[in-house]
Amino acid sequence: MSLEFRKICNPLLPQAQDVLAYLDVPDQTRWYANRGQLVRTLETRLSSYLGADKDILLTTATGTAALEAAILATAGRAGPDRPLALMPSYTFAATALAAERCGYAPCFLDVDPATWSLDPEALADHPALARAGVLLVVAPYGRLPDMRALERLHARCGLPVIVDAAAGFEQLAACPEAISATVPLALSFHATKTFSTGEGGAVVWDSFEGRAAIAQATNFGFLNSRECRAPGFNGKMSEYHAAVGLAMLDIFDHRQAAYAEISHQYRDIFAAHAVPGTLFVGPKISSAYALLLAESPAQADRFRRALEEARIGWRRWYEAGLHGMAHFRDCRADPLPVTEDLGARLLGLPMAPDLTTDEITKLALALARAEQTDQQGTDTHGHGQVRSAP
């Protein structure tokens, strides 16, 4: 067993020599940015990986750029009648920052305790809809929302709907029906995500006009000319990032198999050691995460202390929600009891494509022991139980 600190997240991107194989193209073409050959090849290969027989995505510089472009392409900038962007508080800061950069004031809504996401049915008659310019639904840890329900909501009230599916690449590949012509999905290819280009992202949208609007928003508002005709910014992926993505796609089946084995071991080892709480790993969530939902906030505190003592990293990936962060303190928010409960109980555990059985065992022992010691004052085994995620 390693005595070193096990980091919460230890990404492993393609090796330099594998990326190098693609760099002949920019060397030869002297084309380095602005939708070159490697970017277009990556888009075609990713579209087919997501089960489409035509291009259904457009790459961007980051996942945040994908969100911002999707907002500009569907809703445009905020106006005085519709100044709000509705979104969950239970998400990463990028969701709200992207909305702010398009002029919207974030308005935080609570999530559903089972899906950890906004409930499309509950949204249908939310009073804030009247002042909302856009709805940002998050696919937490890659778990996709009900896309048909979101399409219906959009059709019924006309409000632009975007899904922040930053970590949802694998879930989307497993469920091509989720791809929509009216509700764009934003992906992140950041190093901490399962499929990565280092920094990067994409908008997945089965609409030619939609993707043209993304291309325009991410290229200074230009489309087929050098005249700025719409709000935009520089959100394009470079050829060098595309090279990383192509090399990543070459190894991705192998990578996914490695993650699947680690997720399987997580489930087995946590069950064998009777770790209390509910474990979430792939394929239900993105393989980049392992999450433990403690039975109570107090138990989550004991887990955190035990992990720190065992020199094992943990993280609340979405902290306690955005509404508690200094920058968003003045944003409008509904009461957020589910968000606060999830923030207090849902813990990120270490995940990496080379996490070992020994490391997972050490982690399971630390968690199981923390709870048994606390309940009984002695270190006995066999109490508590792990439930597999439903």
Ligand X SMILES: *Cc1c(COP(=O)(O)O)cnc(C)c1O
Residues forming the site for ligand X (CB under 6 A): 62-64, 91-92, 94-95, 138, 164, 166-167, 188, 190, 201
If the CB atoms of residues 62 and 372 are measured against ligand X, the closer one turns out to be 62
Nearer CB in complex with ligand X: 166/355: 166
Q: Residue 251: which residues within 8 A CB-CB, separation 6 or more?
A: 14, 18
Could you tell me the smallest distance in angstroms from the CB atom of residue 67 to ligand X?
A: 7
Cβ proximity to ligand X: between 271 and 320 the closer is: 320
3-state secondary structure the chain: CCCCCECCECCCCCCHHHHHCCCHHHHHHCCCCCCCHHHHHHHHHHHHHCCCCCCCEEEECCHHHHHHHHHHHHCCCCCCCCCEEEEECCCCHHHHHHHHHCCCEEEEECCCCCCCCCCHHHHCCCHHHHHEEEEEEECHHHCCCCHHHHHHHHHHHCCCEEEECCCCHHHHHHCHHHCCCCCCEEEECECCCCCCCECCEEEECCCHHHHHHHHHHCECCCCCCCCCCCCCCECCCCHHHHHHHHHHHHHHHHHHHHHHHHHHHHHHHHHHCCCCEEEECCCCCCCCCEEEECCCHHHHHHHHHHHHHCCECCECCCCCCHHHCHHHCCCEECCCHHHHHHHHHEEEECECCCCCHHHHHHHHHHHHHHHHHHHHCCCCCCCCCEEECC
CB of 168 to ligand X, least distance (A): 9
Is the Cβ of residue 270 or residue 280 nearer to ligand X in the bound state? 280
Give CA–CA dist 60/286, Å, rounded: 20
Query: Degrees (nearest 5) of the Cα angle 368, 371, 373?
Result: 105
Q: Which is nearer to ligand X, 214 or 275 (CB)?
A: 214
Kindly report the backbone phi and psi dihedral angles of residue 340, in degrees, each rounded to the nearest multiple of 5, phi listed first: -65, -40
Least separation in angstroms between residue 25's CB and ligand X is: 24
- Amino acid residing at 214: I
Nearer to ligand X, 14 or 198 (CB): 198
Which residue has the closest beta carbon to ligand X? 63
166 vs 347, beta carbon nearer ligand X: 166
Q: How far is the CB of 94 from ligand X (least distance, A)?
A: 4
CB of 317 to ligand X, least distance (A): 7
Q: How far is the CB of 148 from ligand X (least distance, A)?
A: 21
In this complex, which beta carbon is closest to ligand X, that of residue 19 or of residue 288?
A: 288
Q: How far is the CB of 78 from ligand X (least distance, A)?
A: 20
Residues 6+ apart with CB under 8 A from 254: none
Nearer to ligand X, 193 or 362 (CB): 193
Q: Which is nearer to ligand X, 96 or 213 (CB)?
A: 96
* Block residue for tokens 């899904």: 163
Give least dist CB 189 to ligand X, A. Answer: 6
**Which residue is it, tokens 């198999």?**
257
Q: How far is the CB of 205 from ligand X (least distance, A)?
A: 17
Rounded to whole angstroms, the Cα distance separating 197 from 240 reads: 9
Supply the minimum distance, in Å, between the C-beta of residue 163 and ligand X.
10
